[in-house]
Amino acid sequence: MGHGDWRTTSLKERDSSTPPPRSGRFERYLRALQSKVAGRRRQAASTLGKLGDSRAVEPLIRALQDQSFGVRGCAALSLGLLKDSRALEPLIDALQDEHNLVRDQAALALGILGDPRAITPLNRALQDRDYNVRKRAELALLFLGNTRVEEAEPQPKRVRKIEENQ
């Protein structure tokens, strides 16, 4: 492995438009995403995002509908890691998932994705019934650079909602 080899390059350094060389590893995880065993599907959904191959986007979007909330949560985070705009609307929809872990991971993924169109849905997620989802939405908004944290009465801190076009 020489300098600049895709396996030694971080996801941030790697050009997302150029997938790593085809390997059996990617195809193996793609097949595992169809497994009858939820744990295998969850591991596959998690790993596909880390591989950085944009071919995983559509299968991961489909995985957001999996019966297992663990698979849906891993798929959401992986979509954020892939930083592909095709994931924006499905991730926004995942903010309404019945399970808090999926909403939590979708909020974080939207922050990582970095698309300002996620600001309004993330602002709505600040009102989620689950504390962790609210905190992830706050973090995601900070990632997007579109919020100010201010003192609130009597709560310690809150994020002020802002307009998307600021």
- Give a yes or no: residue 119 inside a domain: yes
- Containing domain of residue 107, as a range? 6-159
- Note the pLDDT of residue 24: 87
CATH of the domain at 43: 1.25.10.10
Helix (H) or strand (E) holding 149: strand 149-150
- Give a yes or no: residue 142 inside a domain: yes
- Give a yes or no: residue 76 inside a domain: yes
Does the pLDDT of residue 15 top 80, yes or no? Answer: no
- Note the pLDDT of residue 20: 52
58-116 confidence digits (pLDDT tens) = 999 999 999 999 999 999 999 999 999 999 999 999 999 999 999 999 999 999 999 99
What mean pLDDT, rounded, does the chain reach? 83
- Note the pLDDT of residue 10: 45
- Give a yes or no: residue 27 inside a domain: yes
Q: How far is Cα of residue 55 from the mean position of the Cα atoms in its chain? A: 16
Does the pLDDT of residue 144 top 70, yes or no? Answer: yes
Does the pLDDT of residue 158 top 80, yes or no? Answer: no
- Give a yes or no: residue 14 inside a domain: yes
pLDDT band at 22 (very low <50, low <70, confident <90, very high): low
Does the pLDDT of residue 126 top 90, yes or no? Answer: yes
Long-range CB contacts (within 8 A, 24+) of 88-95: 88/113, 88/115, 88/117, 88/118, 90/61, 90/64, 91/64, 91/118, 92/118, 92/121, 93/64, 94/64, 95/121, 95/122, 95/124, 95/125
Domain count, the chain: 1
- Note the pLDDT of residue 153: 31
Q: Decide: pTM greater than 0.85.
A: no
